[in-house]
Structure 1
């Protein structure tokens, strides 16, 4: 169903991190991709029709590659190890959010201007040497949520007519480090390294609504569509839950290794799962009925430990992926 059309070179290779590829499509047909390498973020921008739902040639695309360094806010110039980079939209403004071993940095969409910096601090000696931020999502129109090492979710807000962020609150329910966050409307789903999943709601802060069934394996990647939440696990499992009822609707054992990314095309319900086993598998989700998920196709990127993947458009007609120690973003189209 999908075939590889081309690839785009990055300035450096991809680190072995979960969810290590994200994209953002501008209205002018520019598509931006972000991949983390140690203390830098590779940004690749492609100007073409690849973000459209029509299968057009990408041979005329004009990719540009650059890097963003993440340094200590103290002014020492020391590079900070990055764990995730992701674009989020708050009040119609798109921001590039970077989570690190020291805290959170928020840039303008293109990464040229640093808007906000929040440094992690703890009074708990247990975590003093192993602090980090991981898991990035927007909740509602003005909340930015970021997970941390101790199972907390930090909440920041963007006031109206402002491009700055304010620290609001910290909520903690997870007993282990946050592994990923996913927002849909005013609902947020958080997962941790012990496989626990929590559903939150809120517009000014977060309130815990329910817990989903727990499994003894890290919930590595989370994606939402309609009333379904799709979760990839370190065990190679994929599970789908109904957000409203909390009931597990499906369980898939189609990967032999750690799931590093899941993503859902919002207009079609197509989903991908990306794994260290070198496979990207494509699924069709259904709003109701049984089964709620069916297998569509798969792509094998031989001898590559895949570490990220995402759809390029909301119809799911194209997706990209990359892998550990690979300096390319691979593009697949129907």
Structure 2
């Protein structure tokens, strides 16, 4: 006879003043000293303790006084290896938040202004390898990618021109950038040089999401064609190429 034990997990419902909104993204941001749950929506950016119990910060996105046809929202969330969380906006700005080890004294330390179109995704290098200088990438609706060195003063390393359509998702691992596009293609870049090493017709329709396994570098792609595909990315030291 096989007996099983069912454990009941109570889910915490986040209730906040600003929840009457459309949410674009939610992410647990792991920082050296704490973990925060970050939500990006039409109205702004909310940061909670990791269990959702306490909202520690609220940042409203700038809403134009006169009604416009363009939507206003926040989208794209990534935590750097230091105490910063980056969140994109519909104006193309990327807000850099300085996160203290504890408490609510969260501030906007910098605004990155290289994009002219809404931010679609942001990724930080998820590997344990810290030898690569460039460790953050931002993407927008036009397909432009910006590669950054994070820190007290963020430095733009490369700005890559649009590649024929929206960059819908981006990931970074060991100095390698994988970018998924609305065309169904995946492009793989070297973060140090900004050059394209791999171009794959991965899907027949819009790529919805990418994810990377930080230990192995395996890439998962999902698209509107209903397929999930797993790819292996690695750096060939003999030929100094990414495959």
CA contact (8 A) 2:56 2:103 kept: no
CA contact (8 A) 2:14 2:53 kept: no
Distance 1:110 1:269 in 2: 29
Return the match for 1:261 from 202, 209, 230. 209
Distance 2:15 2:93 in 1: 23
Distance 1:67 1:218 in 2: 35
Alpha-carbon distance, 1:202 to partner: 2.6
Name 1:144's counterpart in structure 2: 85
Name 1:216's counterpart in structure 2: 164
- CA, structure 1 residues 236+167, in 2 after alignment: closer, same or farther (shift >3 Å)? same
Q: Deviation digits for residues 166-220 of structure 1, max 9, x if unmatched?
A: 1222121111100000012672100000000001123124221211242121111
Q: What SS class does the counterpart of residue 195 from structure 1 fall into?
A: coil
CA contact (8 A) 1:69 1:79 kept: no
Distance 2:155 2:78 in 1: 16
Alpha-carbon distance, 1:68 to partner: 3.8
Normalising to structure 2: TM-score of the pair?
A: 0.85
Deviates more, 1:207-216 or 1:141-150: 207-216
Normalising to structure 1: TM-score of the pair?
A: 0.63
Q: Which runs of 5+ in 1 are unaligned?
A: 1-58, 294-334
Residues 81-120 of structure 1 aligned to structure 2 (within 5 Å): 81-120=22-61
CA contact (8 A) 1:91 1:158 kept: no
Name 1:285's counterpart in structure 2: 233
Distance 2:209 2:64 in 1: 33
Name 2:182's counterpart in structure 1: 234
Q: Deviation digits for residues 39-59 of structure 1, max 9, x if unmatched?
A: xxxxxxxxxxxxxxxxxxxx9
Name 1:200's counterpart in structure 2: 148
Please say if 1:252 is aligned against 2:204.
no
Residues 249-328 of structure 1 aligned to structure 2 (within 5 Å): 249-288=197-236, 292-293=242-243
CA contact (8 A) 1:122 1:128 kept: no
Alpha-carbon distance, 1:254 to partner: 2.2
Name 2:137's counterpart in structure 1: 189
Q: Which one has a larger percent strand, Structure 1 or Structure 2?
A: 1
Residues 36-185 of structure 1 aligned to structure 2 (within 5 Å): 62=7, 64=9, 66=11, 68-69=13-14, 71-73=16-18, 79-122=20-63, 130-162=71-103, 164-184=105-125
Q: How many residues align?
A: 231
